[in-house]
Amino acid sequence: IVMILYSMASKKAEKLPRIPLALFITYFTLQFFIQTLEGYEWSHGWIRYAGITADIILSWAVARFVFWFFIEVLAGFRKNQDVIPKITRDFILFLTFAILFFVVLRVRSDINLASLLTTSALLTVVIGLAAQATLSNLFSGLIIQAERPFSIGDWIRFEGYEGTVIGISWKSTQILTRERILVYIPNSILASSTFSNYSRPNRKKIASLVIGLDYSVPPNKVRKVITQVLEQNSKVLKQPKVNIRLLQFSDFSIQYEIRFWHNNYSIEPQLKSEINNQLWYALRRNQIRIPYPVRDIQHAHIEREFNKNSQNKMTEEIQKMFESIPVLSPLSQADRADLAEKVYIETYGEGEFIVQEEDEGDSMYIILSGSCEATRRGHQQQAIKLSRFFKGDFFGEISLLTGEKRSATVQATEEVSLIVVDKIAFSTVINSNATISEQIGKVVIERQKASAINSEASFVNMETDSQKLIQKIKLFFGV
């Protein structure tokens, strides 16, 4: 009754201790059995032994209940953490049961405890000699629990095995590896060996990557590009800051060490792979080459001829795509051909940011392959999805024409290749024809009025007066 009332009062009925409750029920059942058999001469022996058994069960039930109540109270102060490790609880309960067992026998029976203890001692010696390894694991487990070099949930490494500690029993400590393999390490071996705990003193850990880059690229530019990549990764901590060190000048490249902080060692290999993937795209966009060992290659003219043919085919494809871009429709065929030779292609990996809201910009992007998504910050800084872009779609024309800040964030939803039309390439077209800026301005205004969903102009707040827009274009390009 006390247990049930406590559980209901504390709203923890689901944590009702089943073992003490079962022991109490067994005790009352035995008492009912004893009361029923009283009065029968043949039952005196049975009643005596049943009474001793009932007293042992009652004392054990009370001890288990008191222990459970003590753990519950402590857990309330410690926010329901595992305040006493399981192996320690089991050991205390075992000693308590042994003491209660002998006390009840001494009080309720005429058994000679001295001879019983002597026999038990001899039996203990025999068992101890036969189970030295088991006892060694037991006491090593108690030492581990007392010293607490690790806790449940910590990430440890021991002799080639590493994983999360999920349990500490009488015999072994269990860790779950990244490959979801459960490894049992005997406590005696673990207590006497060296192991690493990656969750102490806290979960912040430093990781490092080494990369070799081209000699022709200034180290400061390399640091800037790499820092931007890591700052965009949400799994990399902002503090302490990323540290990029120039290690050495090797035969074919300059070696850089990238050091960054994270707070989850279990995902470190995955995080490194993710960063390497993002670095490849970022370095390629910034024309930073990861050099190969230098070798003499024959028939190099064949490769150059192949690259030239590929470049010509790409230029033709870009010209065809320009024909379907409304902003470029006022351009003549010659202007589009000239512009196609001045643009360049950038490739972004899945999850990378192409442009970010409020960033400075002077370029327009046309999707050559892949897809991306535009979002904008709401009043509570939440990301509001605006539109998806696919092959042939474009965005950023307002920044290209007027130099205004980006009005939305665009992020790659898969690997995406983009044709980049920047101010330098487009200025040749604008300056070659005095009326082209007016024609382009009118096209943009018409698209705004039609609320074209594929244009950045569809989610920016601009003047609807075409003359003002044309004036901005002329001012930006110095026409």
Indicate the domain borders of the chain: 2-130, 149-197, 205-285, 315-477
On the question of a common fold for 149-197 and 315-477, the answer reads no
Burial of residue 338 (CB within 10 Å: 0-12, 13-18, 19+) is: middle
* Strand stretches in 104-197, DSSP E: 155-158, 161-168, 172-177, 182-186, 196-197
Name the token pair of 7: 């559980």
**Mean pLDDT along residues 272-298:** 84
Region of 451 on the Ramachandran plot (φ > 0 left; ψ -120 to 50 alpha; else beta): left
Query: What is the CATH class of 315-477?
Result: mainly beta
Residue 211 binned pLDDT confidence (cut-offs 50, 70, 90) = very high
Q: What is the pTM of this model?
A: 0.60
Cα–Cα distance measured from residue 418 to residue 368, given in angstroms and rounded to the nearest whole number:
5
pLDDT above 50 (res 287) = yes
Least confident segment among 153-162, 385-394, 457-466: 457-466
Q: How many CB atoms lie within 10 A of CB 429?
A: 23
Q: Nearest-CA neighbor of 384 among 455, 459, 452, 456? A: 459
Give residue 463's pLDDT: 46
Whether the Cβ atoms of residue 457 and residue 399 lie closer than 8 Å to each other = no
Residue type, 118: T
Work out whether strand 394-395 and strand 172-177 pair parallel, antiparallel, or are unpaired.
Answer: unpaired
Give residue 374's pLDDT: 93
CB-based contacts of 428: which residues, under 8 Å, 6+ apart?
338, 339, 342
Cα–Cα distance measured from residue 95 to residue 83, given in angstroms and rounded to the nearest whole number:
19
pLDDT above 90 (res 226) = yes
**Which stretch, 66-80, 127-141, 320-334, 447-461, has highest mean pLDDT?**
320-334
Q: Point out which residues pair with 54 in neighbouring strands.
A: none
Query: What is the CATH class of 205-285?
Result: alpha beta
- Per-residue pLDDT tens for 15-49? 556 777 787 888 888 888 878 877 676 666 677 77
**Which stretch, 6-10, 188-192, 302-306, has highest mean pLDDT?**
188-192
Cα–Cα distance measured from residue 277 to residue 271, given in angstroms and rounded to the nearest whole number:
10
Q: Nearest-CA neighbor of 360 among 398, 325, 323, 321? A: 398
pLDDT above 60 (res 228) = yes
Check: CATH 1.25.40.10 for 149-197?
no
**Mean pLDDT along residues 158-175:** 87
- Per-residue pLDDT tens for 388-414? 999 999 999 888 888 999 989 999 999
pLDDT above 90 (res 452) = no
